[in-house]
Structure 1
Amino acid sequence: MLQSGHINFFNVDKCGIYSFVGKEPKGLDLTETFLKLSEWVEGRDYETTNPWDRKSDRNKTPCYCNQIHYDEKTGDFLLVLLKGENDKSGPLYGFVIGPDGKPEKTPIKQTEKKTKKKTIWGRPCYYWVIPEANCIASIKFENSRCDSTMFQEWVSGCIDLRVDLPDMKKISTTTGLVRIQFTDDEENPYKYHYKFDMSLRSLSTTSAPLQEMVSKITHIIRRETVSLNVKNQREGWVKHFGHLVLPYTSHQDGKSRKVELTVEARPTVAEAKEIIEKFGSSGEASGWDDVGFVLEGGTKTVWARSYRHSENISLDDDGNDILDAEFLYKTLTHYRARFIAPILKDNRDASTGTGTGTGTA
């Protein structure tokens, strides 16, 4: 069956061991991180590829690793994860777990086959790690999911809680933070921690559509969903929303409010790109939380999601509900050079300070 995949690209903002006061990492860069994860996953019982305890970490979405494919030629990784879900929005896929803790090779679909054997249910997630471009891409098919927050937490959770780091010692604080000390650095006991953060990429600053849109911006719109009866930990203007007196709103008729703020602004291309990447929605479908731009005349608003750096692919799944990592990667290699060319250019421009910095008012 022919499958269409939608690809979103993310910047890797941080990856490595950081001191609590420094900005540059000390070890465990993108390649090192995923090589460690590949070694750790290999041969493990399937259930233990979820780094969190199901009883004590109930607020974490269970996430299991099906496969990690590493391409030595390019240095890329392709991960196939299983997001543990039990909702009814589409079919669930499961792996029957054998007595040895290993999953059966062929997944089953919950709507087509019943089993009394131990089974882990969820939906596949595909992530393409590209160290050369310092970016990560999520690949979304009709039956799969994309959850960038879960992916970041899974990577950090594995490194913090499960993966052995022979040259480092780890302790967990009462707040759950894992502090790290290098074994040859007794002068700085547990002054480090692992961080893995990524943000949605926008189109290149040299992109004609982005430049044209920026030249017409008159206002910026910020939309957020704000809790009414839970302490809001967000920073900025939404932090003070609970202090506003608004008509026809009460704590009894809902748990949250959709809030919109419009500000007059004329950002440069570089500033608009930063706004899109920092505040733009990375959800699979259109939702409320996002950032938008009102164009001249005030009759048109464009949303950040339409200026994501994204691509599309098509492939024949050969009847497989969950794609093999190496198979999917081989398809991606046909487009790799074209997909990452604008990212590499942006990275070069950023390092030399030659990126587009102004827009036309």
Structure 2
Amino acid sequence: MDNGLVTFFDVTNCGFYRIRQAAANIQKQEELIKGSLANTLTLVTQWLNGREFSQTIPWDVDSNPFKSKVYCKDYYSDPITGQFLFVFCKALTNDSGALNGFIEDAKVGTSDTDVVRVNNKSKGRKLIYGQPMYYWFIPELNLIASINFKHSIASTENVTDYFKKCIDNYIQTQNRKVATRTIYNSKTNRDINIKSVSYMSDSNKFSMTYKFDAQLKELSVDDVSLEKLARNITHLVVRDKISSSKAVQDSLLFELFDKIRGKQSKLKRDKHVEIISEVNLDESELRAILGVYKEEQDDSSDWNNVGFRINNEDSTKWFNSYVDRKHLQIEPRLKKDDSYYPAKVLFEAIKIQQEGLLDFTKQSQLVAEEIKKAVGYES
């Protein structure tokens, strides 16, 4: 099976924003006027539909000679979930035998042969060499996910910029204003046109700018499915300092500490202790341990900590720095011409595994509800 690392990003901005001037030494305040992730995806797919691959760069390449070239090879929009899967291609300039040559006049989403390996004959057709980038868009959760395999790359900044350039440069939206100026570029020894785009509000009372930004979402222990995590934990690891004056509370987890305290009750200085105990936990037990950990953890200590080991592995994962990793499994034979996964094919694999990939959203909701109850908040 091909194993793709899935990395999630929160969409922090997507749409048309009014920029308000703020007081001195205070950042400008942004106000979303209209637009959404779903709306942006719909507009861009309409622009892409039927375009030649070489014509899917949404900016003037001649005016931006040093900007990375990003194309769109394929996309799929799911009518049931409203989710999208895009296959982008970031062009590369070397001729390594591992690269793909995308036929430049093939149509977006075509089912015909549209890609060849660099070391194969192209039969006289012009090729654009590059590597695929797979991006999954989940509008109802305001999330983006990159899916990175060994044969692909990920560049979320390039992808969000791609959508902004599509909206600003090629999609005719209401009340769009374009200003152009020319500057001389000494590196290319020629004039370059600089375009700035703004939008007027429906009332024509203020101007707006289009923004699309995303921020990495690290899945901490609060976000993961505790039921699934508990099943895989085989050892708990506890680090603490013990001394002659320190009393260790009785508990099954710290049973060994009690024995140490009994045998060495007259220690003259602190000792660093790490206890690794084999366990078999269920969800409720893990949740209780996390509760104790959060209450007792001393963040100022460079030693005290609580962690765990999964599936009898030797490496310890600490609760305070644990980052969950999601993976997508897919059959390599589903690649097109042994090169890239078509958008619909990859989305079908996502759909089958979606519950496990998105279980952190349910967990986050549960944690939020528990916090509300703890502070006496009633919805």
Distance in structure 2 (CA, Å) of the matches to 1:15 and 1:348: 27
Q: 1:102 to 1:133 in 2, by over 3 A?
A: closer
Find the partner of 1:181 among 200, 204, 225.
200
Distance in structure 2 (CA, Å) of the matches to 1:332 and 1:349: 25
Q: Give 2:351's aligned amino acid.
A: T
Aligned residue in 1 for 2:157:
149
**Where does structure 2 lack aligned partners over 5 or more consecutive residues?**
21-28, 182-193, 230-235, 240-292, 295-300, 306-315
SS at structure 2 position matched to 1:26: strand
Aligned residue in 1 for 2:88:
81
Distance in structure 2 (CA, Å) of the matches to 1:294 and 1:81: 44
| Length, aligned pairs only | 277
CA contact (8 A) 1:96 1:118 kept: yes
1:198 aligns with 2:177: no
Q: Give 1:67's aligned amino acid.
A: D
CA shift for structure 1 position 57: 0.9
Aligned residue in 2 for 1:33:
40
What do residues 95-115 of structure 1 show as CA deviations (whole Å, max 9, x unaligned)?
223499998633101023345
1:4 aligns with 2:22: no
Distance in structure 1 (CA, Å) of the matches to 2:18 and 2:125: 46
1:140 aligns with 2:148: yes
Q: 1:313 to 1:87 in 2, by over 3 A?
A: same
| TM-score between the two structures when normalised by the length of structure 1 | 0.65
Distance in structure 2 (CA, Å) of the matches to 1:20 and 1:194: 10
Distance in structure 1 (CA, Å) of the matches to 2:53 and 2:64: 18
Q: Give 1:315's aligned amino acid.
A: E
Q: 1:130 to 1:319 in 2, by over 3 A?
A: closer
Distance in structure 2 (CA, Å) of the matches to 1:352 and 1:173: 54
| TM-score between the two structures when normalised by the length of structure 2 | 0.62
1:329 aligns with 2:337: no
After the TM superposition, which residues 277-316 of structure 1 pair with which residues of structure 2 at under 5 Å, given as runs? 296=304, 307=323, 309-316=325-332
Distance in structure 2 (CA, Å) of the matches to 1:10 and 1:90: 32
What do residues 221-276 of structure 1 show as CA deviations (whole Å, max 9, x unaligned)?
xxxxxxxxxxxxxxxxxxxxxxxxxxxxxxxxxxxxxxxxxxxxxxx98xxxxxxx
After the TM superposition, which residues 202-281 of structure 1 pair with which residues of structure 2 at under 5 Å, given as runs? 202-204=218-220, 205-207=222-224
Q: Give 1:123's aligned amino acid.
A: Q
Aligned residue in 2 for 1:341:
359
Distance in structure 1 (CA, Å) of the matches to 2:198 and 2:136: 28
1:70 aligns with 2:77: yes
Identity of aligned residues (%): 25
What do residues 30-52 of structure 1 show as CA deviations (whole Å, max 9, x unaligned)?
10010111111002232221012
**Where does structure 1 lack aligned partners over 5 or more consecutive residues?**
217-267, 270-292
After the TM superposition, which residues 51-70 of structure 1 pair with which residues of structure 2 at under 5 Å, given as runs? 51-70=58-77
Q: Give 1:316's aligned amino acid.
A: P
SS at structure 1 position matched to 2:33: coil
SS at structure 1 position matched to 2:348: helix
After the TM superposition, which residues 99-178 of structure 1 pair with which residues of structure 2 at under 5 Å, given as runs? 105-165=113-173, 167-172=174-179, 177-178=196-197
CA contact (8 A) 1:201 1:308 kept: no
Distance in structure 2 (CA, Å) of the matches to 1:171 and 1:355: 51
Distance in structure 2 (CA, Å) of the matches to 1:112 and 1:194: 42
Q: Give 1:52's aligned amino acid.
A: W
CA shift for structure 1 position 18: 0.8
CA contact (8 A) 2:53 2:72 kept: yes
CA shift for structure 1 position 343: 2.2
CA contact (8 A) 1:51 1:162 kept: yes
Distance in structure 2 (CA, Å) of the matches to 1:332 and 1:117: 34
| Superposed CA RMSD | 4.0
CA shift for structure 1 position 150: 0.9
CA shift for structure 1 position 8: 0.9
Q: 1:24 to 1:125 in 2, by over 3 A?
A: same
Distance in structure 1 (CA, Å) of the matches to 2:81 and 2:94: 37
